[in-house]
Amino acid sequence: MSTRSESFAGLSVAMVTPFRNGEVDFDALGRLVDSQVKAGTTCLCPVGTTGESPTVSHEEHERIIAAVVEAAAGRIKVMPGTGSNSTSEALRLTRFAARAGADAALVVAPYYNKPTQQGMYEHYRALAEAVDIPICVYNIPGRTGKNIEPETIIRMAELPNITMVKEATGSMDQASQILGATDLTVLSGDDSLTLPLLAMGGRGVISVVGNIVPGDVAAMLRAFEAGDLADARRWHHKLFPLCRDMLSLATNPIPIKAAMKLLGRDTGELRLPMTPLTAEQEARLGETLAAYGLL
């Protein structure tokens, strides 16, 4: 199968942003990059939803992008989040990512102000015409308050620099329509829906659980790519309870950061308005990780 950004097929990881005493822990960030390189991950996606982009400052946002690109050192692709509900701000961040050496930009749909479909199109067209790096349209109406309708994404596909979609609508009908009408590289934005999306022509996932089990997610993707559907299903059914029971505890990235803390990979520190799991929730998370074999 040939899609527009085949080099991004496979496992991308939606990275957490490590904090220590309220500040971005850049040393820890570098270690996270190294661990994903060792795991064979295809691409890293810092400062997205999982990276707490709403609560990092503009200066921190740019410093995180630059730090991940520097730590990656060409060993792994980098597709940072550069979206905003302000087109001018998204332009600034996307241009910065391109200058810093990022391989692509992950651009979430404008949130809160709920633009029309024409407004969505013009927003992405402005970005696509401003930079040379590929742009991944991140469609997550549960967060943004407005769906980018499939007809709009199909129209965006006429722009050469729009090459990918992070599909997080939860609608297989919408994904089918996009996959059937374009050559865009469609990546799952929901860990539990990755295998169904692959079956329709999706090419990978931008994964949250890949922060802790990148090897297992990659194994599922490899099995599917090799045509071993039985093994791909086996990995799906192994991963599904982890995705369901961990990520349903609270809003992402609260549970994944708590899991990384329990596994000794992060402080678990969050920025308000995100708050830690309760003691009861953390106990349930520990049970989920133990059942998976991580604890």
Q: Which residues are catalytic?
A: 138, 166
What is the distance between the alpha carbons of residues 140 and 251, in angstroms, rounded to a whole number? 14
- Side by side, the strands of the sheet bearing 162-167 are 77-78, 43-45, 10-14, 204-207, 185-188, 162-167, 135-139, 105-108
Residue 162 burial class via C-beta count within 10 angstroms: exposed 0-12, middle 13-18, buried 19 and up:
buried
- The answer to whether the beta carbons of residues 167 and 187 sit under 8 Å apart is yes
